[in-house]
Amino acid sequence: MIIDLSLPVDDALQETHAAKIDRISHAEGVEHFNWVVMSKQPGGQERYDSGERVATSREIPDGEMLSLEIVHSSVHMGTHVDAPFHYGSRCEGKPAKKIMDVPLEWCYGPGVVLDFTHMSYPQNIEKKDVIAALKKIHYTLKPMDIVLIYTGGDRLVGTPEYVTKYVGVMPDAVEYILDQGIKMMGVDTIGLDRPCFEMFKEFLATKDKSKIWPSHFLGRRREFCHMERLGNLGAIPKPYGFIVSCLPIKVKDAGAGWARVVAIL
């Protein structure tokens, strides 16, 4: 059985970095085909603008070309993997790994679900909460486990609360997980840290460096990846004893890549 844990890149969502998708239908594809071909020819754009066409819909099978979608989106929309480069230019004293550099061994391995659905905003997950969640399922983390942090936050997708009111993960919780030999973890919220606008407000008021992206910036001295915008974690029927695949798309020189994350039982 394969369980989909991914959310789509969705241009209907109005968020900090909204996506835009140009959708060229099958029928519209005939006109697009004419423009692509003619615009590459000497004087072709002028001929196209004057109404000339190299092919009509009657000459195309069923009057339809191939569909085409052109996506304008941050790599942080939809379910994605954040690479060490996202956290900073250097990690553990070396140039930080970009998404193309992330070892695939980090992205496929035994999964563990830690249930924090009893918590709610404005609570945040701390080290003691991680220890309690592991004790509850009688599990000891092993190196290279993939830890899935289940808050139920994906139920808020499409609402303002998905961006502003979710359970964050504090640096001591992240560091405890890393201490167990973990390289990949994931959350079913929009971000690993607590809600960003709260962090921004506190940082700007105090200029206290510890107030802004502390769990992300931890990745400058401890090498790890994490997934954001997971979904459907509650559909996994057991807290461990399954495989997670979260292979990211290779986006050149990027700090993150979209991923189709699944649990395999």
User: For 162-173, what is each residue's pLDDT tens digit?
Assistant: 999 999 999 999
Percentage of residues of the chain with pLDDT beyond 90:
98
Under 8 Å between Cβ of 50 and 230: no
- DSSP state, 209? G
- Is pTM, for the whole model, over 0.85? yes
pLDDT averaged over 10-residue windows placed end to end, the chain, 265 residues = 97 86 96 95 96 95 96 96 98 98 98 98 98 98 98 96 97 98 98 95 96 97 98 98 98 98 98
Alpha helices (H) in 69-170, listed in sequence order = 84-87, 127-136, 161-164
- DSSP state, 97? P
User: What is the per-residue pLDDT for 16?
Assistant: 76
d(CA 47, CA 103) in angstroms, rounded, equals 50
What are the φ and ψ backbone dihedral angles of 140, each rounded to 5 degrees? -110, 125
User: What is the per-residue pLDDT for 14?
Assistant: 79
User: What is the per-residue pLDDT for 108?
Assistant: 98
d(CA 213, CA 104) in angstroms, rounded, equals 26
Residue (of 31, 32, 54) closest to 43 by Cα position:
54
Listed in sequence order, the residues at least 6 apart from 106 whose beta carbon sits closer than 8 Å to its beta carbon are 144, 183, 184, 225
Torsion of CA 130, 132, 133, 137, to 10 degrees: 140
User: What is the per-residue pLDDT for 17?
Assistant: 82
User: What is the per-residue pLDDT for 15?
Assistant: 82
Identify the structural domains of the chain with CATH numbers, from first to last: 2-13+75-264 (3.50.30.50), 20-72 (no CATH)
